[in-house]
Chain A
């Protein structure tokens, strides 16, 4: 191995250690921490397997057990066509063969222009997400994607002033992001929990002179949390030092552990009915006319109803966060068993599109590659919503790590989309995806990959010679 190769390997090992120490959980051992760290370090360089020139490669077929939860990587492939009229069209514009970098990534999600249809997940009150919040904010801003501040951040970490050592306040995070934005891209999304409502977080944001110029520019959204993937139906939970608990006694439900310096703090889950959600969106449109409205829902069985209500009331985006979604804290029973998987939320998205709902839909829950982005968008998602990968990338290599990680997603998505003959991610469609299992194919409304496609019979302008014509089957 060359010296350079050795150095690269050492750097990776160090970054991996940082990420593992900073954000690794030891709980979900199969989470692709190494893959994300490599992308955070090498950006687009991480898109190829290592050892080029000296090895041969092929698809991984997965010789072990099938995963307990069906995931995209295991059950979906992309189905590229040989005939690509879309590429021909692009060639006519470019006067040359189009390549992957000609794929346009610029999109609009939830009322914001973005350079890549990726949204940063709402997070940041637990210590781990809080610690990396500024790096994620700056990385997201430079990459031109949206950034979010989760519930309880202002209440627990402070709105203006830091309430806890080493954890940036709400306004620090907001301004770190907004001030690093370049061009017309991005948007800040702010969640408010029931307890934040006690402090009127949204009203405070809406009347804050430091944020007003950005509100005026249309760069702010408020996110209604109906649920989250890792613990749908449960409120936020964190452990906090006892003296901090005393301060929050009146706003939160607390378990003060006898003899311990810590207390467990519970947020209440907000109660919703169809009417409450509808009324809430209307109230927000009245109270905050210059702000976009996002709704986040976990792997809940009536997610399609949430989409319907959000769509009818004119919300700007709905986030669908599956069972595998990340979190800073949740009971094990919820992590493994509470909620429907991400793939099931993707099926909900595909169904919502068949029903004609046009509201932006973002998929979330253990997504971390360009393939995930392309497959989600092919089935109707407007983009993906990433949390854990950005925390890990920040832990491994700071804001630059977040940027490089996002670059790897962007380039990978461009490569895959171009192979499908699509030069804008919004042109992707369900025909671009096939399932390796007939049940999954049926659930998602896509082709079963092993069954041959019938010839299209569409033909071109030229007819085949008469003696060679075959009836389309």
Chain B
């Protein structure tokens, strides 16, 4: 197919915003909300029907290749893979408006991991460089069924590095992504083009770093309504993603938009030492990471900002106090989103053979 089929969807001044055709197709589908929902219901209800199709066999193989490539890269760079916890008294609360799943653990309420972030910090204390490749459950609000980027059940590669800065973590993230894209392009480049019309071009890092304020200004220039100080809206993130030609970072989000574990810059109050890695072509967020807050007193105040009771997080706070100062940085990268990007899919629900889509049940 040669060049990917670029579609211009809007010209703002001199800038052109280009969405990948699959993203554009998703937009078209989601335009008719009822129709899209009944499509998703069918899709999830009878997933075995499409899971056997040639194109999805390729998708699953590409995903396996991506997982191999991630492990290959990390294992050769001093990381140790650790098996993740499945349940615990608390889990990652820093997930926009999504509900956690609970189980009855001998009379105690335990949570199913929405991410194992709280545990990877102490495994980084033990091993220095570590990662989990683990499933997560997040009962997302129903409107996230329309984004193409949210599943209630998904896998994520979550890594953490002791005595690292968020810049160190970003370097690992971009090298890791580059390695995966390169490997997949080598192994499946031709098939991806032939079967899915996807042409993958590995782009060498370093990728561009946009400070949060710059990203907001750029989103506004592109015509997206984005308040300064608030988390970047999905719509605006998609627009930024469509504007960029290669993966890029948005760094230093304002406090208030992120979980309590993203460290606030001590010399710049209100600025977090964190980042998102974003795919180009409108595919949106790839990874999210940060340097971790490790001062118990600051964490307690930040927990209150999310309306939380610090008593819930007692083991975590005790652990941080005993291992003080536990300076780490890391990130998590969603596997289905990566597969979606590599294969040029409409939604993450194409990257999972038994997708659990927010609000859609029953399914296999």
* Chain A positions near chain B (C-beta within 8 angstroms): 192, 194-195, 197-198, 200, 202-204, 206-207, 209, 212, 215-216, 224, 250, 268, 270-273, 275-276, 278-290, 314
Rounded to whole angstroms, the CA-CA distance of A284 and B231 in the bound complex is 10
Provide the residues of chain B in CB contact with A289, threshold 8 Å: 97, 233
**Interface segment, B175-183, B204-212, B249-257, B346-354?**
B249-257
Q: Tell me whether A207 and B97 are in contact in the complex, defined as CB-CB below 8 angstroms, given that A198-B312, A283-B256 are known contacts.
A: yes
Partner of A285, one of B141, B230, B306, B312: B230
Rounded to whole angstroms, the CA-CA distance of A197 and B305 in the bound complex is 12
Interface residues of B in 12-30 (CB under 8 A from A): none
Indicate if the CB atoms of A287 and B309 lie closer than 8 Å. Answer: no
A-B pair number, CB within 8 angstroms: 93
Indicate if the CB atoms of B99 and A203 lie closer than 8 Å. Answer: yes
Provide the residues of chain A in CB contact with B257, threshold 8 Å: 282-283, 286
Rounded to whole angstroms, the CA-CA distance of A208 and B236 in the bound complex is 26
Indicate if the CB atoms of B230 and A207 lie closer than 8 Å. Answer: no
Partner of B256, one of A203, A206, A212, A278: A278
Rounded to whole angstroms, the CA-CA distance of A282 and B306 in the bound complex is 9
Indicate if the CB atoms of A287 and B304 lie closer than 8 Å. Answer: no
Separation in Å of the B197 CB from the closest CB of chain A? 34
Provide the residues of chain B in CB contact with A280, threshold 8 Å: 304-307
Partner of B139, one of A197, A207, A215, A279: A207
B142 within 8 A of A: yes
Q: Tell me whether A287 and B96 are in contact in the complex, defined as CB-CB below 8 angstroms, given that A207-B141, A279-B256, A279-B305 are known contacts.
A: yes
Question: SS class of chain B's interface: helix, strand, loop or mixed?
Answer: loop
B301 within 8 A of A: yes
Rounded to whole angstroms, the CA-CA distance of A224 and B358 in the bound complex is 27
Q: Which residue of B lies closest to A213 (CB)?
A: B142
Top 5 A-B pairs, shortest CB-CB distance: A282-B256, A279-B305, A286-B231, A287-B97, A203-B99
Partner of A275, one of B98, B99, B229, B301: B301
Indicate if the CB atoms of A290 and B143 lie closer than 8 Å. Answer: yes
Indicate if the CB atoms of A286 and B254 lie closer than 8 Å. Answer: no
Separation in Å of the B178 CB from the closest CB of chain A? 30
B108 within 8 A of A: yes
Indicate if the CB atoms of B230 and A286 lie closer than 8 Å. Answer: yes
Q: Tell me whether A282 and B255 are in contact in the complex, defined as CB-CB below 8 angstroms, given that A207-B140, A207-B142 are known contacts.
A: yes
Q: Which residue of A lies closest to B302 (CB)?
A: A279
Provide the residues of chain A in CB contact with B305, threshold 8 Å: 275-276, 279-280, 282-283
Rounded to whole angstroms, the CA-CA distance of A290 and B144 in the bound complex is 12
Indicate if the CB atoms of A202 and B309 lie closer than 8 Å. Answer: no
Rounded to whole angstroms, the CA-CA distance of A276 and B358 in the bound complex is 31
A-B contact pairs, 11 of them (CB 8 A): A198-B312, A207-B141, A207-B142, A215-B141, A270-B304, A273-B301, A275-B305, A282-B257, A284-B307, A286-B231, A287-B96
Partner of B96, one of A192, A276, A286: A286
Indicate if the CB atoms of A200 and B142 lie closer than 8 Å. Answer: no
Rounded to whole angstroms, the CA-CA distance of A234 and B255 in the bound complex is 28
Proximity bits, B238-260, A CB within 8 Å = 1, else 0:
00000000000000001111000
Indicate if the CB atoms of A272 and B304 lie closer than 8 Å. Answer: yes
Separation in Å of the B99 CB from the closest CB of chain A? 4
Q: Tell me whether A198 and B97 are in contact in the complex, defined as CB-CB below 8 angstroms, given that A212-B359, A290-B143 are known contacts.
A: no
Provide the residues of chain A in CB contact with B358, threshold 8 Å: 207
Indicate if the CB atoms of B142 and A283 lie closer than 8 Å. Answer: no
Partner of A195, one of B97, B98, B309: B309
Rounded to whole angstroms, the CA-CA distance of A192 and B257 in the bound complex is 19
Provide the residues of chain A in CB contact with B108, threshold 8 Å: 250
Q: Which residue of B lies closest to A224 (CB)?
A: B307
Rounded to whole angstroms, the CA-CA distance of A215 and B143 in the bound complex is 10
**13 extra A-B contacts, CB within 8 A, seeds A194-B308, A202-B307, A282-B255:** A192-B307, A198-B309, A203-B98, A206-B99, A270-B307, A278-B256, A279-B302, A279-B306, A280-B304, A280-B305, A280-B306, A282-B229, A287-B97
